[in-house]
Chains A and B, each alone.
Chain A
Amino acid sequence: TQLLEQSPQFLSIQEGENLTVYCNSSSVFSSLQWYRQEPGEGPVLLVTVVTGGEVKKLKRLTFQFGDARKDSSLHITAAQTGDTGLYLCAGEGSARQLTFGSGTQLTVLP
């Protein structure tokens, strides 16, 4: 069974601060996806990283896939209240199934 651990589980910061969320596994994934989920809604895909060492930027969000394709990070610069939500990483295994991490609940305070 492939497991993904996310840290921290909870994060509360002030608007304007920077933060990093981590997603770690002992397994290798063919790709890794990051989602954001708001209360009462399903997860929405933010980005997919495929190549080891790959870095993708989405406005103030920077995603990195580890060289060994076992871990990933999400960095948010100058967080805004609209960034509040549950951030989920998900790894795609050899059978193309997704394994989700446990999530990081981010709260950005005004």
Chain B
Amino acid sequence: EAGVVQSPRYKIIEKKQPVAFWCNPISGHNTLYWYLQNLGQGPELLIRYENEEAVDDSQLPKDRFSAERLKGVDSTLKIQPAELGDSAVYLCASSLGTGSEQYFGPGTRLTVT
């Protein structure tokens, strides 16, 4: 069975440009998470979806970040405009439900120059 799929794996953009990341969770997983991970640090939750509903987006910088999971399956995370400090790995994870084991994708490494 395929794991969590993320694309692209790497992205380099100039500051002030927009960027989008895509995540396809494990089939049947209702809960989807987006995390930000800085180098050598643990992941920090940005947003959690239960099906198509964002149930926890308190840590999402809403002035420049947005996310959607329109049909309750795959999801897109967008940054517009990107800043130098946004350089990090963006991880997507999914689980059967909140509190169930989370399975992580390989992440997208973003470099903003």
Which A residues form the contact surface with B (CB < 8 A)?
4, 9, 40-45, 48, 86, 88, 90, 92, 95-98, 100-103, 105
Contact = CB atoms under 8 A, between A and B. Distances in A.
A97 B104 contact: no
Contacts of A41: 104, 106-107
Interface of B: 4, 40-45, 48, 56, 91, 93, 98-99, 101-107
Specify the main secondary structure of chain B where it touches its partner.
Answer: loop
A92 B43 contact: no
Which of A4, A101, A103 has its CB near the most chain B CB atoms (within 10 A)?
A103
A4 B45 CA distance: 14
Contacts of A44: 104
Given A40-B106, A42-B104, A100 B43 contact: yes
Contact of B91 (A42, A92, A105): A42
Given A100-B44, A101-B42, A103-B42, A43 B104 contact: yes
A45 B103 CA distance: 8
B42 A42 contact: no
A42 B106 contact: yes
B101 A45 contact: yes
Contacts, number: 46
Contact of B107 (A9, A42, A45, A97): A42
A103 B56 contact: no
A92 B103 CA distance: 15
B86 to A, nearest CB: 19
Nearest to B3: A42
Contact of B102 (A9, A40, A98): A98
Contacts of B44: 100
A56 to B, nearest CB: 15
B101 A100 contact: no
A101 B103 CA distance: 17
Contacts of B48: 97
B40 A42 contact: no
Contacts of A97: 45, 48, 56
